[in-house]
Structure 1
Amino acid sequence: MIDIGAQIGATGRAVTEVEGHIRVLLTRDYAATPDDVWDALTDPARLRRWFLPISGDLRAGGQFQLEGNAGGEILHCEPPSRLRVTFGGPSSLVEVRLSGDDTHTRLELEHTVPVEFAGSAAGSLFVGPGWDGAALGLALHLVGAVADDPNSIETQRFNLASIAAWVRATTGVATDAEVEAGRAAALAQYCPDVKD
């Protein structure tokens, strides 16, 4: 069992709309070196243990495919500090930045899409909880633990708390109606068996 409140509190979330783009920013600190976190993010054998199996030409300019999820192009790869990829389409960009020292790493994950792709800033509710789950999976992996089944009730309770956190991050950036519609869609997607 995980401490859901502590795990939700360990992650920072921000949503902005600038120049026709929605930006979702997730930040989290890990008690591991940047080299170790980078390796967990980019080594296919490790990535499959905490996120998803990956295939493709895993280098700058290459293509990747996550099993049962998005694929894209690797636009920039600067070990151990910066990875930028398209994610599910050419206008959906994910950038991971790592900084730290020999005792900790700060991860910043930024997912940017055009407003017309997301519909509004409430589009953060479609991707934010998924990135929260990835941040949790990475945290558990780095301490030698394994994430629960993605369909378990505990995972769905975590997702429920994540959705509430993303609602708070999105409030004021999207209209109340857009936030509520995004929240309802996220609840159906991420925690269908748990009532809030």
Structure 2
Amino acid sequence: MTIPTATGHRRDLAEGPYCEWTRTFRAPIEDVWAAVTEPQRLARWLGTWTGDPASGEVKFQMTFEDEMPAERFRIDECDAPHRLWITTSMTDGENTEHWQLRLDLAEEGGITTLTFAQNVPDPTMVESVGPGWDYYLDRLVAAEADRDPATVSFEDYYPALSEHYRKEFGRTQ
């Protein structure tokens, strides 16, 4: 068994610290855009959404997270097929968390690069969120390469990659 590589890095933006990942695909930008926005393609590696994006929000349900309630995704910016910025809102009874997610795509020479970022308002969360996004983005890569995303195992990512993210965000255990 080969342990996956942690690929996320800290990026400080005006809005605060983000963790950022990139993945490349030998595919047109429109195809990668479809993989991250069309419900049936998204469901292969992450989850699915319902609702009307034209309303400015959708409900998103992760497929591979046990007992995870659906989240409200507010669409902050959408410039298909180049940019999708959203804010998630999830309530755990009395507290509501808001996370900004940014997906930016660029194509050059038949290679599309996806840059994905999530804000990190609490540095302790990066220990699980970092390995989690490596896992899900590797599932996306597998799905787009016509491999079975189920062969990507979360147990290979967490907690094995947590130390990388602690260091990226200046945390020591």
TM-score by structure 1 length? 0.70
CA 61–20 in structure 1, closer or farther in 2 if over 3 Å, else same: closer
Aligned pair count? Answer: 161
State yes or no: 1:100 paired with 2:116. no
Q: Which residue number in structure 2 is paired with residue 125 of structure 1?
A: 127
Does structure 2 retain, via aligned residues, the 8 Å contact 1:149–1:155? Answer: no
Counterpart residue number, 2:94? none
Letter in 2 for 1:161: A
Structure 1: 5+ residue runs without aligned partners?
A: 181-196
Instruction: Kindly state the Cα deviation for residue 18 of structure 1 after the two structures are TM-superposed.
Output: 5.9
How big is each residue's C-alpha offset from its partner over 1:113-141, in whole Å with a ceiling of 9 and x where there is no partner?
5x4xx2xx232223212211111111001
Instruction: Give the SS at the match of 2:149.
Output: coil
Distance 2:168 2:154 in 1: 21
Q: Deviations for 1:130-154, whole angstroms, at most 9, x for unmatched residues?
A: 211111111001111122278xxx4
Given the superposition, is the C-alpha separation of residues 70 and 128 from structure 1 closer, same or farther in structure 2, using an over 3 Å criterion?
Answer: farther
More helix by share: 1
1:50 and 1:146 in contact (8 A); partners too: no
TM (norm. structure 2) is: 0.78
CA distance 1:80–1:20, change in 2 (3 Å): closer
Check the 8 A contact 1:95/1:109 in 2, yes or no: yes
CA contact (8 A) 2:49 2:60 kept: yes
Q: State the match for 2:165 in structure 1.
A: 166
> 1:110 Cα shift?
1.3
Aligned ranges for residues 29-40 of structure 1 at < 5 Å? Answer: 29-40=24-35
Matches within 5 A, 1:38-53: 38-53=33-48
Cα separation, partners in 2 of 1:60 and 1:139, compared to 1, 3 Å: farther
What residue ranges of structure 2 are gaps of 5+ in the alignment? Answer: 63-67, 91-96
Shifted more, 43-52 versus 89-98: the winner is 89-98
Which of 16, 19, 22 aligns to 2:17? It is 22
Q: 1:96 and 1:36 mapped to 2: Cα distance? A: 14
Residue number in structure 2 paired with 1:193: none
Q: Which 4+ stretches in 1 moved above 6 angstroms?
A: none
